[in-house]
Structure 1
Amino acid sequence: MRPAMKIVLPFVVLALAAYGAFSLWKSRPQTVRQTPPEKTWMVESVRAKLIDVQPDLRLFGEVVAGRKVELRPLVAGQIVKVGENFREGGVVAKGELLIAIDPFDYQADIDERLAQRAEARARLRQIRAEYEGEKALLLHDKAQVAIRRRDVERRQKLRGSGASSVKTLDDARLALSQNEQRLTDRERSIEIWKSKLDQQNSAIVRLEIALRRARHDLGRTRLLAPFDGFVLNVEAEFGKRLGVGDRVARLIDANRLEVRFHIGNAQFARLGSDFAGRVAGIYWDGATRPLEAVLKRAGGEIETASGGVSMYAVLRGVGADSRLRPGAFVRVELPGPRYNGVFRLPDSALHDGDTVYIIVDNRLVPRKTRIVTWLGSDILVQGGLKAGDDVLITRLPEVGPGVLVSTP
């Protein structure tokens, strides 16, 4: 009996344990599977508006001199006078005296040329008198030759009739020959005096030229301002001796100040070929009211280092009384090209370079579009939108079609 119990007892225990485990499993609490609620993203949007716009290009530039010259004397000499405004930073008016060089030598040269001209004119009158006298004597010589020729002809007739001797005929022929020789000498003398007359006229012309040159050099002893301007780099002072071409100062034209600014390749291309004549606003020294500058020209080449080109605009209404000077740093607002039928959006509305999302029934719907240009942190786009669309401008980590969103 006991051996049988030892065999059966373990199986009974195992059966009871299995039953208990099964009872526990059957009585376990049942869990109900539930679908999590869909997440709603709080976002911001803007209403799409179809507009025509001509945005300004905001750039920075520098005031430069549109015309500047180096002042150099064209005659040599000692400085005997200096203009009141001829100093570093001085403002001079057109025609104002800058420096005066000692005119003594140049005035003396004029006086000498005047004396030479007077002497040459007197010599001319003498030559002309000789010339006119020779011409008058030529008439007498011709008359003498005519008389001698008739005398020879008469004696030849008399010789034929035997009324005249051979010696008388020969004497008449000799006298004719002498008068013809005198006529030839007279004609040659007239040509010589005529040549002297021409030479003396040429000499007087040369003296007149030398006199004009001397007077011109005398005028050059006074160095005058060629235009209204600002004086800088002064290198001359009272008493200094100057040579021809020595630099005395530089002068900047106060009425020809320009603004030079740099513009990128893409912006330059959008300006078009008819950019000349456009008016830009120039802001300097915190001024709220801009100066005007007219766009005139572009630089001669594209700058490879910066990838753009320099532009030049001439300032309006700026003169010698202005505080503006070359080297001033300014802000430039230049009207850009006009865009018609575009939408202006924050750049945060753009996804993947060509996609924006509109909100329809609180769901995101993608729209393909095309970027026309960038305006700072905004973009101008065309296509894919219509006026009144709510465009998503919030950046979402899970942006995509059908995403549930909510706007304030």
Structure 2
Amino acid sequence: MSRKKQIIVPIVILAAGVVSFIGFQSLKKPPEEKAPVDNTPIVAVETISVEPMVLEVESYGLVKPKYETELVAQISGQVVELSDTFVRGGFIKKDQLLARIDPNDYEAALIDAQANMASARAALETERAQGKVAEREWERISHSSPTELSLRKPQLAQEIARVKAAQASVLRAKRNLERTEIRAPYDAMIESRNVGLGSFVAIGSPIGKVLGTSIAEVRLPVADKQLKFLIDQGKDSQVLLNGTYAGEKMQWSAHIARGEGVVDNQSRMSYLVAQVDDPYRLQASENSVTPLRFGSYVTADILGQRLDQAAIIPRHLVVNNAVAILDSELKLKYMPIEIVRQDGANVIVSNGLAEGDQLIISALDYPIEGMQLALPSDDAIESDLESVETQLAATIED
């Protein structure tokens, strides 16, 4: 009996364990099936815009007059008259009287020179008459030939020389009399005046300085490598000058008149000279036109070559003269491009890109041409926005 118990008890225990295991297994829930994970890289793109473009070269400079003249006295004397417009900042016309030096002594000198010339002419006529008399007397003598002295030719030449000297004295006296009037050499603006009414000036004394108002110039430094973006190295190119007037930003039109033809030995820059006609707008019919004042600092945009088709893209996206494009099948494609110019953080591309191309602007860990890519879905974007809004609301509540 005890032996049967020894056999039956282990069997019962084993059977109970099996039944318990089966029962527990039946109570266990089967594992939930997970949705397949999409590991396709998601990229951000930017649509390419291709359009005509005019290349520009930037520069800067100071506005200066093309002509400026230092007026000096060519005679000595006392200043007896000054024009009301002969003041700093005054505008004057060509040949306008600015100042007058006392002309009395020079008028007297002219009268004296004219008297000497009249006397010399009278002496010349007398000598000519005497020469004719001498010539007729020698015609009566047939056995010898007359000499030049006997015909009074040296005396005639001397009187002719005296007349010429008297004429020169008259011209000199007239010129000195004209120099008593200080007149404007061209349409100008007064920069400075160095004399006052009653001042005494000597030959070479400074009278003032005038600046021509017909043309203003701006010397524009340009790096040598930038000249290739201009037509004919900038000759006759249009220029947009940008500056301020009365605290407001203004723009003026100009053109490149010439290049200086040398490279500055300090800055290593080439210089182009832009000209502006009538900078103070003295000939303009509208009073609202803004003048371009001498001494103003301006920046310049020199208009250069025109590209029929061009696009601007960030420079850091270019690798080995190619950019990553998302094609119509959402696959990665490297498009070779032709870079015309680097412009700061961007590059200007003339060939290789078309209107509407999707430029990939996000980074890829292991890019392989032809790999499948994806764009962020609208649901994902909305989910990210809701998450950000929730975090922001929680931060505000805290």
Identify the TM-score tier after normalising by the shorter chain.
Answer: 0.7 to 0.9
Q: Contact conserved, 1:279 with 1:292, CA < 8 A, in 2?
A: yes
The equivalent residue for 2:13 is none
Counterpart mapping for 1:99-114 below 5 A: 99-114=99-114
Which of the two has higher C-alpha Rg?
1
Of 293-302 and 322-331, more deviation after overlay is shown by 322-331
CA distance in 2, matches of 1:199, 1:74: 32
Query: Structure 1 249/407 Cα, relative in aligned 2: closer, same or farther at 3 Å?
Result: farther
Whether the aligned pair in 2 keeps the contact of 1:134 and 1:189 (CA below 8 Å) is no
After TM superposition, give the deviation of residue 296 of structure 1 in Å.
0.9
Name the CA distance, whole Å, in 2 between partners of 1:269 and 1:220.
52
> 1:212 offset after TM fit, Å?
0.8
In structure 1, how many angstroms separate the alpha carbons of the residues matched to 2:222 and 2:366?
A: 36
> Counterpart amino acid of 1:359?
L
* Amino acid in the other structure paired with 2:181: R
**1:62 offset after TM fit, Å?**
2.3
Q: 1:105 to 1:42 in 2, by over 3 A?
A: same
Find the partner of 1:350 among 293, 309, 317.
317
**Cα distance in structure 2, aligned partners of 1:207 and 1:320:** 49
Q: After superposition, what is the alpha-carbon deviation per residue over 1:17-75, rounded to whole angstroms, capped at 9, x for unaligned? A: xxxxxxxxxx9xxx99x9975263341321353x4432333443321111111111222
Q: Whole-Å Cα distance in 1 between the matches of residues 78 and 237 of structure 2? A: 50
Instruction: Identify if the C-alpha distance between structure 1 residues 345 and 193 changes in structure 2 by more than 3 Å, giving closer, same or farther.
Output: closer
Report the equivalent of 2:48. 47
TM, length-normalised to structure 1: 0.72
Q: One-letter code of the match for 2:326?
A: I
The superposition leaves residues 226-284 of structure 1 with CA deviations (integer Å, 9 ceiling, x where unpaired) of 11111113211122222222222111110111222222222212214363222222333
The match for 1:199 is 158
**Residue 159 of structure 1 aligns with which residue?**
none
Pairwise CA distance, 1:349: 6.3
Aligned match of 1:209: 168
More strand by share: 2
Comparing both chains, which one has the higher relative contact order based on Cα–Cα distances under 8 Å and sequence gaps of 6 or more?
A: 1
Q: 1:328 is matched with which residue: 285, 296, 300? A: 296
Q: What is the rounded CA distance, in whole Å, between the counterparts of 1:277 and 1:352 in structure 2?
A: 37
Question: Residues of 2 paired with 1:317 and 1:382: CA distance?
Answer: 39
Q: Match for residue 379 of structure 1?
A: 347
Residue equivalent to 2:131: 131
Q: Distance in 2 between matches of 1:210 and 1:399?
A: 97
Counterpart of 2:41 in structure 1: which amino acid? T
Alpha carbons of 1:396 and 1:189: their partners in 2 closer, same or farther (altered >3 Å)? Answer: closer
Amino acid at match of 1:138: W
Task: Check if 1:278 corresponds to 2:237.
Answer: yes
Contact 1:268/1:308 (8 A) holds in 2: no
Instruction: After TM superposition, give the deviation of residue 301 of structure 1 in Å.
Output: 2.1
Q: Could you say if the C-alpha distance between residues 364 and 345 of structure 1 is closer, same or farther in structure 2, counting changes exceeding 3 Å?
A: farther
Counterpart amino acid of 2:359?
Answer: V
Code of the aligned partner of 2:322? T
Q: After superposition, give the CA deviation of every residue in 1:192-231 in whole Å (9 maximum; x if it has no partner).
A: 5222112101110111112111111111111100111111
8 Å contact from structure 2 (residues 219, 271) kept in 1: yes
Structure 2 vs 1, CA of residues 48 and 328 (structure 1 numbering), >3 Å: closer, same or farther? closer
**Is 2:45–2:362's contact at 8 Å kept on the other side of the alignment?**
no
Aligned to 2:373: 404
Equivalent residue, structure 1, for 2:326 = 359
Question: What whole-Å deviation, never above 9, does each CA across 1:140-192 have from its counterpart, x for those lacking one?
Answer: 444xxxxxxxxxxxxxxxxxxxxxxxxxxxxxxxxxxxxx6xx77xx348635
Tell me if 1:38 matches 2:59: no
**Amino acid of the structure 1 residue aligned with 2:365:** E
Equivalent AA in structure 1 for residue 70 of structure 2: E
1:41 partner SS: coil
Whether the 8 Å CA contact 2:280–2:293 is kept in 1: the answer is: no
Partner letter of residue 124 of structure 2?
Answer: L
Task: Supply the AA of the counterpart residue of 1:291.
Answer: W
TM-score when normalising by structure 2: 0.74
Partner secondary structure for residue 305 of structure 2? coil
- 1:9-20 pair list within 5 angstroms: none
Unpaired runs of 5+ residues, structure 1, are 1-26, 143-179
The Cα of 1:407 is off from its aligned counterpart by 4.9
- Return the alpha-carbon distance in structure 2 between the equivalents of residues 305 and 130 of structure 1: 75
Q: 1:94 maps to what in 2?
A: 94
1:291 to 252, 261, 264: 252
- Distance in 1, matches of 2:366 and 2:335, equals 13
**1:241 and 2:204 are equivalent in the alignment:** no
Moved runs in structure 1, 4+ residues, more than 6 A? 286-289
1:337 is matched by which residue type in structure 2? Q
Note the C-alpha offset of 1:363.
3.5
Residues 256, 315 of structure 1: 8 Å contact kept: yes
Q: Match of 1:117?
A: 117
- Using the alignment, how far apart are the partners of 2:268 and 2:324 within structure 1? 34
- Selected match of 1:227 from 186, 192, 195: 186
Aligned length: 338
Cross-structure match for 2:18: none
Alignment gaps of 5+ in structure 2: 1-24, 26-30, 283-289, 378-398
Q: Retained in 1: the 8 A contact 2:216–2:278?
A: no
Aligned-pair CA distance for 1:297: 1.2
1:318 counterpart residue number: 279
Amino acid at match of 1:312: V
- Give the whole-Å Cα distance in 2 for the aligned partners of 1:320 and 1:219: 32
